Amino acid sequence: MKNKAQRKVLIIIGIILIIIAILAYVLSLFIDNENNETGNNGTNNTPPTTSNVDEVTTDFTLLENESVFFGLSDIINHYFDSIMVRDTEELMTMLDEEYIDEFNITTSNLYNYINHNYANAAYTPKEIYYNPNSDVTYYFIDGYVMNYTVSATSFTSHVKFLVIVDESTNRYVLRPIEADNLEDYIDSYNIKVRELTTGNALATRTISEEEKITTYLSEFMNFLISEPNEAYELLTDSKKREFGSATNFVSQVPDIYETLSSTVFSYAMSEEEDRTVYSVKDNNQNSITIYEYGIMNYQISF
């Protein structure tokens, strides 16, 4: 009887040990599964629901950042300077690789494609559209070129460029745009993520209010002697009415040019609902008022 009782105890103990082993095994599987999900350091390694892939927006708006605006202006003027001195290596660095591939551009045929007919050019952007809050920013630029030669000065309006900037590296490339309508060109362009790891870096340029006023006055004065009809278009509506017509304004351009100065003696600035007003005294003590509606978008009265 005693042996039978001992065997029953041993059997019961064995069953209990087997149950404990099974429970331990199940528990170990559960713990291992949690470790696989959270990692050894307890952080969640499960892929996030949001993607870290670079993003680029396709909604474009007018650029209002002055330092970027004038930095882009410097890029395009550097492009024209490189054409003037025939710096082929620099131009190939600046040009978009996709533009180079599209037209099979090489160092041998480069000047057949780019703006080679400008001898000594100065570029002024008038409007720049861009896609904000993107990993890659596309700047579509519309402006004009003043080309200076020994014998003449020529004016070409609506000269357009695209500058693409990789925001992660601050590197840029550019391409000339041969299109009549910039808005249609933007709508049809393939906006996508680009990785630019070589080439030049975008350098912004901050200018003071006085420097900006001088830029506006200098543009108006340059137009007086080279493109008086463009100067007329910069006048306020009330000033145009004083002259009566563009023809009458043009006839008085020599006197206006002799009277006004592009050098700022003093100025005051005030803000109105949709514009900034600069009340200026030039170096000849003329009173000039500039109404600014955006960067390089202004009207002038005197």
pLDDT digits (tens, 9 = 90+) for 195-205: 998 889 999 99
The answer to whether residue 202 is domain-embedded is no
**Residues of the domain holding 87:** 61-188
Q: Is 128 in the same domain as 157?
A: yes
* C-alpha span between 5 and 280 (Å, rounded): 115
Q: Is 285 in the same domain as 176?
A: no
Q: Is 43 in the same domain as 70?
A: no
Mean pLDDT of 271-293: 97
Q: Is 86 in the same domain as 29?
A: no
Band the pLDDT of 45: cuts 50, 70, 90: very low
Would you call 268 exposed, middle or buried from its count of C-beta atoms within 10 A (0-12, 13-18, 19+)?
exposed
Q: Is 67 in the same domain as 183?
A: yes
* C-alpha span between 182 and 216 (Å, rounded): 24
Which of 188, 221, 253 marks a domain boundary?
188
pTM: 0.80
For the chain, the 3-state helix, strand and coil shares in percent, each to the nearest 5, are 40, 25, 35
* C-alpha span between 137 and 193 (Å, rounded): 9
Q: Please state, in angstroms and as integers, the Cα–Cα distance from residue 272 to each residue in 73, 184, 280, following that order.
A: 27, 33, 16
Query: pLDDT higher for 30 or 92?
Result: 92
Band the pLDDT of 15: cuts 50, 70, 90: low
22-36, 69-83, 268-282, 285-299: the lowest-pLDDT one:
22-36
The answer to whether residue 78 is domain-embedded is yes
Cite the DSSP H helix spans in the chain. 2-38, 66-84, 88-94, 97-102, 182-188, 209-226, 228-233, 237-243, 246-251, 253-259
Q: Is 67 in the same domain as 172?
A: yes
Taking alpha carbons only, the member of 201, 179, 198, 200 closest to residue 87 is 200
What DSSP state is assigned to residue 125?
Answer: E
Residues 6+ apart with CB under 8 A from 21: none
Q: Is 19 in the same domain as 75?
A: no
Neighbour count for residue 221 (Cβ, 10 Å): 17
Place of tokens 């993607």: 51
Helix and strand element counts for the chain (H, E): 10, 9
Let me know the angle formed at the C-alpha of 81 by 75 and 82, rounded to the nearest 5 degrees.
90
Residue 70 has pLDDT above 80, yes or no: yes
Q: Is 219 in the same domain as 157?
A: no
Structural domains in the chain (count): 3
pLDDT in tens, 111-162: 998 877 777 899 999 999 999 999 999 999 999 999 988 888 899 999 999 9
Contact 79, 199 (CB under 8 A): no
The answer to whether residue 195 is domain-embedded is no
Contact 160, 141 (CB under 8 A): yes
Q: Is 177 in the same domain as 276?
A: no
Neighbour count for residue 186 (Cβ, 10 Å): 18
Contact 147, 156 (CB under 8 A): yes
Find the distance separating the first CA and the last CA of the chain, reported in whole Å.
127
* C-alpha span between 163 and 174 (Å, rounded): 4
Question: 81 is written with which tokens?
Answer: 């300077």
